[in-house]
Amino acid sequence: MKPRFIVEVLGARDRSRFDCGAHALDRYLREQASQDVKRMIASCWVAVSLETGEIAGYYTLAATSVATNDLPPDLLKRLPRYPVLATVLMGRLAVDRRHAGAGLGGALLSDAGLRVLRGDLKAFALIVDAKNDRAAAFYRRHGFQPFAVRRMSLFLPLETMAKASR
């Protein structure tokens, strides 16, 4: 089956029609994403429809860390005894309403994880901060698990993603 989207670094494409239904996410893409990229605060990738050339979805990645004490106890047994571990934050993930329900959100999650795995810098996990219960459920369906102390913050060990992609 021919792919319907390509994922590329945010560039000069028109962002004015992007509408995921969440004003803050729409505004971020239109007004702030380019500035964050220029200031090296975050990286932004967009899924572009091969049919229309329009942005169908996007995500951002930024470096962060997590205190090992925030992780579930069963996971700590297999990790080094460092006070913090390097991680990557997926600060935003959004799909335009016109493309909702087509699996693009999950595809963007996979793209982000694989992008981190292929990179030169290594990280323990991909972290997300779910905006609501529906978003948290979406991430849990894709293998993310909640932190021991923060219910709406979830993580996916990149080792898990690496094993799944083999």
Write the pLDDT tens digit of every residue in 13-29: 999 999 999 999 999 99
User: What's the pLDDT band for 83 if we cut at 50, 70, 90?
Assistant: very high
Q: Is the dihedral of CA 57, 52, 9, 11 positive or negative?
A: negative
Model pLDDT, residue 3: 60
Q: Is the pLDDT of residue 61 over 80?
A: yes
Please state, in angstroms and rounded to a whole number, the distance separating the CA atoms of residues 93 and 91.
Answer: 7
| Pair 69, 104: CB distance under 8 Å | no
Q: What percent of the chain has pLDDT over 70?
A: 97
| Pair 156, 143: CB distance under 8 Å | yes
Write the pLDDT tens digit of every residue in 111-164: 999 999 998 888 999 999 998 999 999 999 999 999 877 778 999 998 888 877
Write out the two tokens for 16: 């004015």
Q: Which fold is adopted by the domain 5-164?
A: Aminopeptidase (3.40.630)
Please state, in angstroms and rounded to a whole number, the distance separating the CA atoms of residues 108 and 103.
Answer: 9
Q: Considering the chain, what is the average pLDDT of its residues?
A: 91
